[in-house]
Amino acid sequence: MTADGKISDLWRSPARFSSAADKAHLEKQIASVEGVLFGAGTLRAYGTTLPISNPQLLQLRKQQHQLPQPVQIVCSASAEIDPQLPFFSQPVPRWLITTTAGAKAWQGMGEGSFERILVADRSPTEVKSEPKSIDWIGAFAQLGQLGLKKLAILGGGELVASLLAVDLIDEFWLTVCPLILGGAAAPTPVEGAGFSVQQAQRLELLSVERIEQEVFLHYRLQR
Ligand SMILES: NC(=O)c1ccc[n+]([C@@H]2O[C@H](COP(=O)([O-])OP(=O)(O)OC[C@H]3O[C@@H](n4cnc5c(N)ncnc54)[C@H](OP(=O)(O)O)[C@@H]3O)[C@@H](O)[C@H]2O)c1
């Protein structure tokens, strides 16, 4: 994020403002998990995902009997995702978390689409108050049963807010980059309805590292 806490500009363009050191840091985090989860808005903005390409990280995963690439999991209630995006040509495993309605659009799409579609509907009363919603507790239970115990959540802010609200996030890594974007409509790491000061999730600072002009912060949620 920028020094003023924005993860993109108000046009929601892809956030390519961090350094090579931050990209390497992100790749290291991705290499330590079984699955990477991101919102459909993030996929629409970038069109691709970040695969692991560092030979040492690939070797380490091999030694640990892990797949070369973690599963790339997109979440989208609507599942309105362009199948022509370059993401669908990247050599990575692709899964989708969606609703029953969303899953219909991807049925029978065959090779090169999603290898697995997980449906996690909320109850009809919850859907009435929040139509674009996924049952995250149910979705994470399914992921756990499929062997995915540790996930990296790559954003955007809407997805992170939903997971925070149901207490499914353990740690935050934030890289503060030396620029200011401003703009009330520009997205931040956590969107959604927001929390009051009383409800706010409290964090414990685990580490701070400065590399050139960027600051790498590592937090754990206080339980
Ligand atoms: N700086 C960074 O590190 C960073 C990282 C990631 C993203 N970004 C930026 O963030 C922006 C994209 O963020 P965004 O606000 O669009 O957020 P997002 O969370 O990536 O995507 C929002 C979409 O994802 C789906 N989704 C998210 N949470 C959901 C939930 N709880 N239930 C059901 N569906 C859910 C919905 O898809 P459907 O509408 O299809 O149902 C929703 O419209 C882009 O500008 C991108 O550049 C920056």
Q: What is the CA(78)–ligand 1 centre distance, in A?
A: 12
Query: What pLDDT is attached to residue 150?
Result: 96
For residue 57, what are its two tokens?
Answer: 């990280």
List all residues 6 or more positions away from 223 whose beta carbon is below 8 Å from its beta carbon: none
pLDDT given at position 131: 57
Supply the pLDDT for residue 127: 61
* Alpha-carbon gap, residue 29 to 6, rounded angstroms: 21
The answer to whether the Cα torsion of 150, 51, 108, 111 is positive or negative is: negative
- Rounded to whole angstroms, the Cα distance separating 48 from 185 reads 24
Query: What residues of the chain score a pLDDT lower than 50?
Result: none
- pLDDT score, position 109: 82
Q: What is the DSSP letter of 73?
A: E
pLDDT tens digits, residue range 126-173?
666 665 689 999 999 999 999 999 999 999 999 999 999 999 999 999
pLDDT reported for residue 112: 77
Nearest to 223 by CA among 203, 208, 193, 206: 203
Ligand 1 centroid distance, CA of 39 (Å): 4
Find the largest Cα–Cα distance for the chain: 51
Alpha helices, DSSP H only, in the chain? 20-31, 40-46, 55-63, 100-106, 124-129, 136-145, 157-165
Kindly give the distance from the C-alpha atom of residue 102 to the centroid of ligand 1, in angstroms, as a whole number: 16
Any ligand 1 atom below 6 A from CB of 191: yes
- Hey, which of 76, 114, 119 would you mutate to test ligand 1's pocket, going by the most ligand atoms within 8 Å of its Cβ? 76
- Percent of the chain predicted with pLDDT > 70: 96
